[in-house]
A and B are shown apart, each in its own frame.
Chain A
């Protein structure tokens, strides 16, 4: 009888301790330490193995579609290939502050150094969007008070795209410092439309400064 009671106490205690441990493992701070968060050490691959973590909004798989073999430039990342863990490693390697948003389907990074993007203009904000664990698009916002710097970064981005995938599909405006400085909302744009891919680069005079926005998207 005494042995049976000991076994029951031991079993109940173990069960309770295990339950507490499981609950604790799903608390955000602990998950961050263990890497269940998309920005944790293990990236998304370290998610709760039983599927009870916060499912990113985009865990619903994308509709099956062919991934084109032609190049789809995206600042060195691979559309439909890179995952949140890759972005986390990149951010950590370069000391870039990034935060997951929209339940993990987006990672927002700020103050991305100029050396990591075309042209000598740092990115104020950079958004990575995922469907499931696959990168589907990157958008950048790069700001400067100097029209020449934005014009130069526009050219660098255009040249990088042109070298990879050829001539743009759409062009508009003039991306020189002089043209952008003519007035507020003056804008130059290049768009590249390819099978499964679209890139859009805009240089815009926003009155209180100049901004370069870029979008590299799998479509």
Chain B
């Protein structure tokens, strides 16, 4: 279970982040002041810290300096959009920088990137009879390997990592093909169909009209 520390003075935002994390089964604990955050972070046991910059008592940069030694990756969350602040944050050793306001999936995507970089993500995902090994790039169904193209593989992994979440075509496009990709959402549809056909997930990877796709989670069988 991924454990994330949220240091954010606005209680509603902290609550929102916690709820967002819960949909990918990450647990979050909240601290509302910089000092409290430093104490909590130094106790350890966290895979990632989400750190606001404008905090009472100690600001985010000071917190960053204080916890720099503990080795936990940090993502800054801030309303400030100044490039200088961004640079300062990254130079202090932050992994990423998210400007408020942000969408839930953007936050999750950034968290995933950072977690993957620090090898904190699950390397092997099991879903019913399907087993995916991300590091080996292999996929087996009932023990027999399936042939998926790299993009199809990425699409499947993305859905497995975001179970029960309605994922729009645009979100998939930007996450799998990258923001620069100028393809149409038709490309996404074809890939999703291929994934469904090859994995036999027609009933679980469902189309949500107007929104996109959703992979039903295992628990809600």
The judgment on whether A and B are partners is no
